[in-house]
Amino acid sequence: MPTFYGTQVDSRLMLGTAQYPSPAVLEQAFRRSGAGIATVSLRRESAGEGAGESFWGLIRDLGLPVLPNTAGCHTVREAVTTAQMAREMFGTDWIKLEVVGHPDTLQPDPFGLVEAARILSDDGFKVFPYTTEDGVLAGRLLDAGCEVLMPWGAPIGTGLGLNNVYGLRTLRAQFPDVPLVIDAGLGMPSHAAMAMELGYDAILLNTAVAKAGDPAAMAEGFARALEAGRLGYEADPMEPRDMAAPSTPVIGMAFLE
């Protein structure tokens, strides 16, 4: 199982807590998924004093490590301030860092992301940066103090899967010893299996589960796909080939004249 900043988690699935139709459905999805980490938003927790306390109580009852995020932040200052507030509220120095650079694609701002990552790392945070599959940006984030990288599969909430398989495969090869998590854009369990087959360590989901007709069943589907994909990766799969090759040997077969 993956290890993040010296902490081993019990599952390769990180699951978000937003957009579920009810708290009961959220809890069912987590129970059936066996998720190892719950991601939470400071904005969600602070929506109302009563509602926030009820939500936080539900998350505590799950007994999982919590990964707060800076979702919706568009500037370095906003992201850093949100992270500091989240550390105080949730009692953890883990932070999923988002610095949004484009309002439509929600693509990370690479310059702001690196700057915020450096500030937070220097302040003792363990930063999980939401980034793209760009190898140069990945290197800058590692230099800034990050020990985990979370490249997107596709824009947040689109369900498109892995848009740039080549780029993601290259990133895995470029940083073989860095924990890599696919964050955003996955829509089906098959996308999760593909991420595992590329050698990624975990995935982070929210919309694909929360917006499914049966969130609990979809959460379990993703969990099973992660297991299958990882088993396939660890089994050292055959290399693809252009020409056909018979699976049954021709030596010893009878020839008819």
Give the residue numbers of the binding site: 157, 184-185, 206-207
Which residues are part of a known binding site for 1-deoxy-D-xylulose 5-phosphate? 157, 184-185, 206-207
Could you tell me which of 165, 158, 155, 159 has the C-alpha nearest to residue 222? 159
Among 32, 96, 118, 230, which one carries the catalytic annotation?
A: 96
Let me know if 96 is a catalytic residue: yes
Return all residues near 219 (Cβ < 8 A) that are at least 6 apart. Answer: 15, 29, 30, 32, 33, 35, 205, 209
User: Crossing angle for the helix pair 49-62 and 23-33, nearest 10 degrees?
Assistant: 20
Rounded to the nearest 10°, the torsion over CA 190, 196, 198, 200 is: 130
Could you tell me which of 221, 218, 149 has the C-alpha nearest to residue 179? 149
Give the DSSP H/E element, type plus range, for residue 60: helix 49-62
Residues carrying an active site annotation: 96
